[in-house]
Amino acid sequence: MTKKTPPAIEIIDPEMESIVDPNVEFEQIASGMQFTEGPVWLPRQQMFVYSDIPASKMYRWTKADGVSVFRDPSNNANGNTVDNEGRLITCEHGSRRVTRTEHDGTVTVLADQHKGGKLNSPNDVVVKKDNTIWFSDPPYGLNQRPKEQAGDYIFRLDPGATEPVPMAIDLVNPNGLCFSPDEQLLYLAEDDFSKQPRIRRFHVTKDNTLADDGVFTNITPFAPDGMRVDSSGRMFSTAGDGVQVFRADGTMIGKFLTPETSANCCFGGPDGKWFFMTAGTSVWRVTLK
């Protein structure tokens, strides 16, 4: 068995040290999973939730109680987020739908088709302050099932609607999504392996559509997946070596190096200073400055 390198911080620019102590301890809060994804902090419950996609389970973690099963089965849930009322929004590969978990625990289907065809396999999801829900729909989770959409889109679902509207259609394997703090920019991880996997950037127009603003940065090794932007506009993007951190101008300033490829990340905790990383069979937590 190959020995895995312990997690560590790589400092490329001194600005990285304003975010995290270079000698910070990485806490492995979960292990023995199949493939972890979809990290999200639920402020209302003070609880961290994540997906194990191939196991078709979702787990919860609290500092007091550790890890326990949150949902089984989960329909191969992938990306998660919370809406403006603190409700969990989930992308389900297996059922090809986006759902909302109500405060009483019941599950509401928000979207599962477009123009009469089933969605591909909703992957990642974000919610704007205006309550619109934006999600990516690549074919990763189809697993031999026929594709019923003409392409791989970013969709916008308006409040009260059941039919999502394509916002970007000229895409190859659209993956992770996040907005800038002012919501004027949308970032997208595009895993186009015929080119260089990259993070694309779009301007959000006044009528809530997208205008292409080119490539924010290329990602290597491997490809970008889940990502988050902090309150200062810095990008935290997963990659083959962990989580890479960039200024808003695309300059890399450092890395959170993980023993396994990191698939997603999120901020959380009572004061927002906990940083969670889903990486292969494990989940890691780091306390930021």
pLDDT value at residue 195: 82
In a domain, 253, yes or no: no
For residue 258, which of 274, 272, 273, 238 has the smallest C-alpha distance?
A: 238
Instruction: Summarize pLDDT for 208-262 with one digit per residue, the tens.
Output: 999 999 999 999 999 999 999 999 999 999 999 999 999 999 999 999 999 999 9
Q: Is the pLDDT of residue 5 over 90?
A: no
Is residue 16 assigned to a domain?
A: no
* 91-123 confidence digits (pLDDT tens): 999 999 999 999 999 999 999 999 999 999 999
CB-CB contact of 78 with 38 (8 Å): yes
φ and ψ of 258, to 5 deg: -120, 150
Residue 257 in any domain: the answer is no
Range of the domain at 94: 34-231
Alpha-carbon distance of 278 to 43, in angstroms, equals: 19
Q: Which residue has the tokens 């990602």?
A: 219
pLDDT at 218: 96
Within 10 Å of residue 91's Cβ, how many Cβ atoms?
30
Cα–Cα dist 75/142, whole Å: 12
Task: Return the pLDDT at 2.
Answer: 45
Which residue type, as a one-letter code, is found at position 166? P
Q: Which helix (H) or strand (E) holds 275?
A: strand 274-279
Residue 255 placed within a domain: no
Q: Which of 155, 180, 172, 177 is nearest to 247 (CA)?
A: 180
Domains in the chain, number: 1
Q: Over the stretch 141-166, which tens digit does the pLDDT of each residue have?
A: 999 999 999 999 999 999 999 999 99
**What are the φ and ψ backbone dihedral angles of 16, each rounded to 5 degrees?**
-60, -35
Report phi then psi at 14, rounded to 5: -55, -25
Which pLDDT value is given to residue 194? Answer: 76
pLDDT of the residue at 40 = 98
User: What predicted TM-score, i.e. pTM, was given to this entire model?
Assistant: 0.96
**In-domain check, residue 24:** no
Q: How far apart are CA 146 and CA 212, in angstroms?
A: 29
Q: Report the pLDDT value the prediction gives residue 282, as an integer from 0 to 100.
A: 98
Residue 275 placed within a domain: no
Burial zone of 129 (CB within 10 Å; 0-12 exposed, 13-18 middle, 19+ buried): exposed
Please give the pLDDT value at position 193. 79
Looking at the domain assignment, is residue 111 inside a domain? yes
Domain containing residue 112: CATH number? 2.120.10.30
SS (H, E, C) 117-144: EECCCCCCEEECCCCCEEEEECCCCCCC
Q: Pull the structure tokens for residue 188.
A: 């997208």
> Is residue 12 in a domain?
no
pLDDT tens figures, 38-66 = 999 999 999 999 999 999 999 999 999 99
Q: In the numeric block, which tokens belong to residue 71?
A: 């949902």
In the predicted model, what is the mean pLDDT of residues 280-289? 98
Alpha-carbon distance 81 to 37, whole Å? 12
pLDDT of residue 1: 37
Mean of pLDDT over the chain:
96
